[in-house]
Amino acid sequence: MTAPVVARERRAVDFTGTRTATPWIEGEPTLREISDDVIRPLVTRPGFGWWSCFAVALCALLIGVSAVAYEIATGIGVWGLNRTVGWAFDITNFVFWIGIGHAGTLISAILLLLRQQWRTAISRSAEAMTIFAVMCAAMFPLIHMGRPWLAFWVIPYPNSRGPLWVNFRSPLLWDVFAINTYLTISLVFWYLGMIPDFATLRDRTEAGIRRAVYSVLSLGWNGSARTWSRYETTTTLLAGLATPLVISVHSIVSMDFATSVLPGWHTTLFPPYFVAGAVFSGFGMVLLLLIIVRTVMHLERYITIAHLEAMSKIMLLTGSIVGFAYATEFFNAWYSHNVYERYTFVNRVSGPYAWCFWTMAGCNALAPQLLWMRRVRRSVPALFILSILVNVGMWFERFVIIVTSLHRSFLPSSWTMYRPTIIEVGTLVGSFGLFFTCFLLFIRVLPMIAMWEVKAVARHASGAHV
Amino acid sequence: MTRWKLVIAIAAITSVVGAGVVARELSRVGVHQWYSPVQPIAFSHKLHAGDSRIPCLYCHFGARTSRHAGIPPANVCMNCHGILQKQSAEIEKLKELVAIARPIAWTKVHNLPDFVYFNHSQHVIAGVACQACHGHVERMERIEQEAPLTMGWCIQCHRAHSGGANAPAASLDCGKCHY
Amino acid sequence: MAQELTFFKRRPDAETSRRDFLTRIGFTLAASALASCSRGPVQKAIPFLNKPEEQTPGVANWYATTCAGCSAACPLLVKTRDGRPIKIEGNGESPLSGGGTCATGQATVLSLYDPDRLTGPMWHGETITWDEIDRRITERLAAARERGVVLLTNTIVSPSTTALIADWSRRFPKFRHVSYDAVSFSALRQATRECFGTAGVPHYRFDRATTIVGIDADFLGTWLAPVEFTRQHAARRRRALSGEMRHYQFEAGVSLTGSNADRRFGMAASDHGAIALALLRRIAAHAGITEPLPDVDAAIDEHAIAAAADDLWRDRGQSILVCGSNDVSIQVIVHAINAILGNIGATVDVDLPSLQKQGDDGAVDALVEDMNRGDVHVLMTYGVNPAYDLPAGPEFVRAMESVALTISFADRLDETAAHSHAVCPDHHFLEAWGDAEPVKGSFSLAQPTIAPLFNTRAAQESLLKWLGESPDFYSYVRAVWRRELYARQDRYHTFDEFWDHSLHDGVFEDPARGYRSQGSARLDPERWHAAARAIAHDHQRAAAARMPDSYELQLYETVALRDGRHANNPWLQELPDPVTKVTWGNYIVLAPSAAKALEVETGDVVRLAVGDHMCDLPAYVQPGQAQRTVSIALGYGRDRAGKVGNAVGVNAFPLVAAHGGHRRYVRGDVVLQRRTGKQLPLAATQTHHSIEGRPIVKTITLEELLSGTPEVMAPQPSLWPEREGGEHHWSMVIDLNACTGCSACVTACQAENNVPVVGPDEVRRGREMHWIRIDRYVDVAPDNDAALDVAFQPMMCQHCQDAPCETVCPVLATVHSSDGINQQIYNRCIGTRYCENNCPYKVRRFNWFQYAGNQEFDYTTTDPLERMVLNPDVVVRSRGVMEKCSLCVQRIQAEKLSAKQEGRRLADGRIKTACQQSCPANAIVFGDLNDPESEVARLRRSRRHFTVLEELGTRPNVGYLMRVTNGEKTEKPS
């Protein structure tokens, strides 16, 4: 078991370049200390910080539940939509949450393949975030239907109607498959990653229900070299499987718009643009979560400034890509010489929803440019604010794309305005509630840092796993 | 170890079978095949349509011209029962109702949902036999829904007769029945 | 009839359960999954006891009758299903309406099922039996025999009713019949009497006119007989494709007619006299008449008037000048001009005049005085609502107190009936016998299409009863026709034969009607000089009286609500006004300049003060409105119309002025003031009226058309494989050159396809459900916002061959049929609204709520009675599904079936969609493209044909024919 670790050591040098000393853990915790630190939240009573966060999240969730219940009982009419603007908050939130999910997969799959060691401390929580985000996202296509109780009709199953199948030409159907695949793979990946830690937990807890549960979850893991090598192979394979998903899911989501005829939607630029945007917002959210968690749960030692800096570099890159995409859209509109295209983009910057556009541009394209400065990249408060800005900006990006394109399309006779209702806002709040409730529960009941991986990059790493 | 395998196998089988049963039951929701309610008057199609060979369209004349085949007005019954000597409790019921000029409240057997437009005359003109959908009415003492009347059941016939040699062609357009 | 009545009166519950099925299916699915062994609701089927010969359940019967929606009395064909009238269509036999209808006419069928109708007679607010009320009334009549008995009605166009009224005057020595029209034409009648001896409104023939000049006469929208005139206008526009024709319109507010004119000029109503004079002066000069005319210094567009006058003169004998003003002098001048031009007898027929609008304002005012003096002992009001639509409504009510017995025939407890001692509710016209003669010599019959729903009685039968005769108007009408009309024809040799044919056709033309006088009528110049002096004098007085800050108010009728008698009809309340696109209520129309002066925008509340009378109305800023004039619609602000019509808008009748014994719909003494901070957002279906320079409505000038440019556009290449064609290829073409935007099609579609009414709040949210809408695009001249170029475009599902909606629906709820129809399958729809987003034409309508049977939307489907109007061949959509125009697929099916039944091939033109059938301009053509000889195929080959947003490659099956404008049109008035 020593060999791979040593090998990783060497690569680490190659990748991080500067120092042989890997900066990914501060201080020199022994392996036991690492386990203690990570497992502490699971065994001790939660502190005031956690409780207050949880209370807030739960309230938000309840607001969301009641909003959705009311909407399903009464009809989509309780939202602000109309004959011209058929989608607004609902699909905006959907795309937003799907985007958030991306960082998790990226970190756990792509960075694993690239053998990026700094991912070790954050991968677990990033993957958890992915799953919760996709859960939130998946909720919206369901509740935005006029007759959600018939949602199962989008699944191709043998039926007594002829049989009558689904429309495989419809991007919405592609979404169904894409999202389900994504969710499944992410879940498997997440669970697989936790097996060794479950074993650790099992070994540390004395007989009882907890132990029983852990032993079932750890699938009889015994940490033998054979298990490990198989384990390594599996994860690598899965990573290979998951990698294309990072690209595919959001490309397909973007096709909901790209394949339409609507000016502002109908563009081939969308798939790459959406993927970049997704990773961008994803890292924004990871950063936000980790900054909160490391302070609330006192894990500064494992989630170091170096981690944050690494992530902010990715944000800088993807943010710039997004900014470039905006510019390209406008160039295309001007260059196409198409009266409808042109109007749509003029309307974006100067129309009644211009403020949304400028919020989006400011938060997504301009703000991240600050990250060129090392000082900003290493300042926790700056990153905290930036990560919030990025999330706000990315939400508005989807809103701008959807609403400004719809509300003034081809025939001026049907131009309208869209105003969200309290119910829609409630639903958005609720989705955040759901997300944070899940996440807060997660950090209490599951090891939020992959112990075995962290140990692997610990200074005096040895093959032994406690 | 084999014990585990066995457990897993059983679990798998039961879940698969269970799923199958549930799916089958759900697909039967709203399908009222073999529905055969008791009618206010125990009218026997076997006797009338079977033994006495009265043509369906004699009583259900609407089927030729209208969307609804129609249930014969009492005066159609009386065309014969006004003259026929034969008596029975059921015929008495009929005559009483006619005497007090009250129409008979039959229970509808073949029900299609609101969102399906079905037109009898269209099918009668195309030469579809009544039995094709209503089953062997001439053998039924009490009317019973023999066909499932699901969309799939309609479609298989429409498919068989869509275009080709056997005109008139049955359409497969959704808008043929749903509007 | 009785039989089938008992038949379907049992039906509503059965109907309901069928209709609400969709509503429940969602929940049913879940519920029955739990109890899937249990059966659905048991449905009963109750046959006839004895089936009436003509009745087969499920087969429609058609009856010819006559519309009573307004005095134009258009002949109708009424479709009844299982004994219920469910759809009104125009009767093509009619030489006047030619099978067209208007929105009002289309909507009258809904009023039949109005739950606010009275269900029986009432005495002092208590329900009572007919026998009892007859007893009381007859004895009081006997007492009043030698005293004043007055029948107050609106214009009676029914010869039989007129005869009946004559009987009354024979029986009661002091009997008086007074008639007035809520919107009065009495000045025109008087002018005609002064000029030509016979009082009456001339019968106008716009189809014979090459040049039309209209002065504030909205003859395409609300003036006199819009359906007939629209038909004439369309015929004229078709002729115009081969030669130049011109229509000038001088008006204060923007009317439907003005919107369709070649050249429209916004000019204050107070200047219309001056305009008429200026026209006369120039035409007289042309005619070599030299007597000088008094001068009027008004700020009128001399250039425009000169152009109009010259065109009138050039086309003398085939030109026409009409004026909507209720001022005798102006109408005299107008008659004079038409006489000089030799139009009398050619385009203006005074020998066989229109019999509409016989009202006499003076007589009503006199009546009120008599009532106050106590000379009137019995007052019967029939077809009028003086408490509401007289300017002095309250005075009238007060006067009613000094009448011993007041009887109202109103069908509901309206403003007048509420103050009457006895209310003897009249039938709805679809329940009653009757006849009409709207234009001298053209008759039509009205017959019941359903047995009376309630314990009501035709007003005529009440009148007969009280005369002591048998209350049987049917025989009375027969007798009148035998006496008056049978003799006039020689086609049928027995009266029964004549009667049966007339009843079947619904119309009878007096063969002698062919006669025309040869425009001999010349006026004695002294008459028009007198009128001219009067106009000049009035003008000076008005100018002197005008305060610097005062505005001029013009009152007008809207296409939907007319004089307000249909205010309780939800279809009409929700019908977008053709000009402003506003529904549910009236508003004060301001010119942009006035809006700037008052610092208001559309939706801000403005307080209007006339003397001490005040009202608050939301503002509507309308380019084209004459400077310093404002317009308000009549017919709103009812407070006893019913659940739908009460308290919608403000009643403007009290603002009507009087002048020389005639009502005047213009007044100069109006003060406006902005109510700061107060807002009343208007429920408009279209808020953006500029076309943004987009090639959506295509226009071609006459020169281009005649010179053969532009060439027909080559079909766009497509990446989609060509669909393999079916038996048919349905297609529709709409002639934008004929369409006037009258919106009859909107209501017709609503009636045919069970389109729900959603109410003002939902309309404000942009959720109206109409399957067909009329887009209105305005191009305002930058220099002068009184000069408009307006285009109307009926827009419904375009049934694209390569439809963007079809590719995106995940569950195949919208798919293409083999015969070219884009089908929406409601029961498959799960409501993702993706199709709506991807539809470039935005013609899809989503059921945001459960509209049918929902108390929240208490308009047309909550009461089982209201549901009787639903078309049983079209499903009522439930909550959460998308819907849209189906090209009336149910009608296509029906016609294909009847062709099959009769073993014939389906002839072109047999299938008529609801919008097409209702169109008075015949602007809509539907047919099969697979038949190269079909009308629609021919039109699609026309050089004027285009499809909207062609460049998207959606290849719509609905096409349009370009508007044709006269080259000069683009030139703006100086």
Same domain, B144 and B170: yes
Q: Do A416 and C29 count as a contact with CB atoms less than 8 A apart?
A: no
Taking the C-alpha atoms of residue A335 and residue A316, their distance in angstroms, rounded to an integer, is 28
Domain count across chain B: 3
In tens, the pLDDT along A374-418 reads: 999 999 999 999 999 999 999 999 999 999 999 999 999 999 999
Mean model confidence pLDDT for chain C: 88
Provide, as residue numbers in chain C, all residues whose Cβ is less than 8 Å from the Cβ of B26: 33, 36
Establish how many alpha carbons lie within 13 A of residue B44's alpha carbon, considering only the half-sphere containing its beta carbon. Answer: 12
Q: Do A409 and C29 count as a contact with CB atoms less than 8 A apart?
A: no
Same domain, B42 and B53: yes
- Closest chain B residue to C23, measured at CA: B114
Neighbour subunits, C (≥3 Cβ pairs < 8 A): A, B
Q: Do C880 and A167 count as a contact with CB atoms less than 8 A apart?
A: no
Same domain, B145 and B61: yes
Q: Does C838 touch chain A (CB under 8 A)?
A: yes
CATH number at residue A413: 1.20.1630.10
Asked if C564 and C104 count as a contact pair (C-beta separation under 8 A), the reply is no
Peptide bond into C710 cis (omega under 30): yes
Q: How confident is the model at residue C245 (pLDDT cuts 50, 70, 90)?
A: confident
Q: Do A414 and C949 count as a contact with CB atoms less than 8 A apart?
A: no
* pTM across the whole model: 0.91
pLDDT at position C711: 63
pLDDT at position C38: 44
Q: Do A176 and C810 count as a contact with CB atoms less than 8 A apart?
A: yes
Taking the C-alpha atoms of residue C13 and residue C34, their distance in angstroms, rounded to an integer, is 26
Q: Do A147 and C880 count as a contact with CB atoms less than 8 A apart?
A: yes
Asked if C960 and C238 count as a contact pair (C-beta separation under 8 A), the reply is no
Q: Do B66 and C59 count as a contact with CB atoms less than 8 A apart?
A: yes
Q: Do B175 and C817 count as a contact with CB atoms less than 8 A apart?
A: yes
CA A442 to chain centre: 15
- Identify the helix (H) or strand (E) that includes residue C659: strand C657-659
Give the sheet arrangement for strand C924-928, strand by strand: C924-928, C730-735, C958-961, C945-946
Q: How many angstroms separate the Cα of C793 from the Cα of each of A331, C228, C690, C693? A: 34, 21, 13, 15
- A339: in domain: yes
Look at residue A72 and tell me whether its pLDDT is greater than 90. yes
Mean pLDDT calculated for residue range C350-375: 91
Asked if C106 and C742 count as a contact pair (C-beta separation under 8 A), the reply is no
Q: Does C898 touch chain B (CB under 8 A)?
A: no
Could you tell me the sign of the dihedral formed by the alpha carbons of B146, B148, B149, B151, in that order?
negative
Find, among C265, C262, C261, the residue nearest to C250 by Cα: C265
Mean pLDDT calculated for residue range A451-460: 70
Q: Is A426 helix (H, G, I), strand (E, B) or coil?
A: helix
The interface residues of chain C toward chain B in range 37-56, judged by CB-CB distance below 8 A, are: 39-40, 42-51, 56
Give how far A201 is from chain B: nearest CA, Å. 24
pLDDT tens, chain B, 179 aa long: 577 788 889 999 999 999 988 888 888 888 888 888 999 999 999 999 999 999 999 999 989 889 999 899 888 888 888 888 888 888 998 988 888 888 888 999 999 988 999 999 999 988 899 999 999 999 999 999 999 999 999 999 998 888 755 455 788 889 999 98
Asked if A408 and A355 count as a contact pair (C-beta separation under 8 A), the reply is no
Q: Does A163 touch chain B (CB under 8 A)?
A: yes
Same domain, B92 and B153: no
Counted residue by residue, chain C has a size of 974
Q: Do C59 and B37 count as a contact with CB atoms less than 8 A apart?
A: no
Q: Does B39 touch chain A (CB under 8 A)?
A: no
In tens, the pLDDT along C137-146 reads: 999 998 888 8
**Nearest-by-Cβ selection for C821 from B74, B108, B175:** B175
Give how far A69 is from chain C: nearest CA, Å. 15
In tens, the pLDDT along C526-551 reads: 888 889 999 998 888 888 888 888 89
Q: What are phi and psi of A66, to 5 degrees?
A: -65, -40
- A132: in domain: yes
Give how far C774 is from chain A: nearest CA, Å. 9
Residue A257 in tokens: 């718009």
pLDDT at position A459: 59
Asked if C448 and C431 count as a contact pair (C-beta separation under 8 A), the reply is yes
Asked if C964 and C944 count as a contact pair (C-beta separation under 8 A), the reply is yes
Taking the C-alpha atoms of residue C361 and residue C367, their distance in angstroms, rounded to an integer, is 10
Residue C469 in tokens: 């005769």
Residue C29 in tokens: 């699915």
| Other C-beta atoms lying within 10 Å of the C-beta of residue C404 | 15
SS3 content of chain A, % helix, strand, coil (to 5): 75, 0, 25
Q: Do B150 and A163 count as a contact with CB atoms less than 8 A apart?
A: no
Mean pLDDT calculated for residue range A257-276: 92
pLDDT at position C783: 64
Taking the C-alpha atoms of residue B71 and residue B108, their distance in angstroms, rounded to an integer, is 9
pLDDT above 70 coverage of chain C, percent: 93
Find, among A337, A355, A304, A425, the residue nearest to A26 by Cα: A304
Asked if C508 and C159 count as a contact pair (C-beta separation under 8 A), the reply is no
Q: Do C889 and B26 count as a contact with CB atoms less than 8 A apart?
A: no
Asked if C795 and C801 count as a contact pair (C-beta separation under 8 A), the reply is no
The interface residues of chain C toward chain A in range 876-935, judged by CB-CB distance below 8 A, are: 879-882
Which residue in the block uniquely carries the two structure tokens 């609400």?
A: C20
Most B-contacting residue of A160, A164, A216, A219 (CB-CB within 10 A), to test interface: A160
Q: How many angstroms separate the Cα of C212 from the Cα of each of C49, C237, C239, C338, C703? A: 60, 12, 14, 11, 20
Q: Does A164 touch chain B (CB under 8 A)?
A: yes
Between B163 and A128, the higher pLDDT residue: A128
Residue range(s) defining the domain that contains residue B77:
72-105
Same domain, B132 and B158: yes
In tens, the pLDDT along C470-501 reads: 899 999 999 999 998 998 888 899 999 999 99
Provide, as residue numbers in chain C, all residues whose Cβ is less than 8 Å from the Cβ of A84: 766, 842
| Other C-beta atoms lying within 10 Å of the C-beta of residue B28 | 17
Q: What are phi and psi of C480, to 5 degrees?
A: -60, -45
In tens, the pLDDT along C321-354 reads: 999 999 999 999 999 999 999 898 889 988 888 9
Same domain, B41 and B100: no
Residue range(s) defining the domain that contains residue A260:
45-152+167-447
Domain count across chain A: 1
Q: Do A81 and C848 count as a contact with CB atoms less than 8 A apart?
A: yes
Q: What are phi and psi of C495, to 5 degrees?
A: -65, -40
Between A112 and A333, the higher pLDDT residue: A333
pLDDT at position C702: 85
Specify which residues A349 forms β-bridges with: none
The ipTM assigned to this model is 0.90
Provide, as residue numbers in chain A, all residues whose Cβ is less than 8 Å from the Cβ of B162: none
What residues have CB less than 8 Å from C530, skipping those under 6 apart? Answer: C329, C332
Give how far C919 is from chain B: nearest CA, Å. 24
Asked if C818 and C726 count as a contact pair (C-beta separation under 8 A), the reply is yes
Most A-contacting residue of B25, B151, B172 (CB-CB within 10 A), to test interface: B151
SS3 content of chain C, % helix, strand, coil (to 5): 35, 20, 45
Same domain, B117 and B167: yes
What residues have CB less than 8 Å from A171, skipping those under 6 apart? Answer: A252, A255, A256, A259, C808
pLDDT at position A46: 81
Taking the C-alpha atoms of residue A259 and residue A249, their distance in angstroms, rounded to an integer, is 15
Could you tell me the sign of the dihedral formed by the alpha carbons of C696, C702, C704, C705, in that order?
positive
- A288: in domain: yes
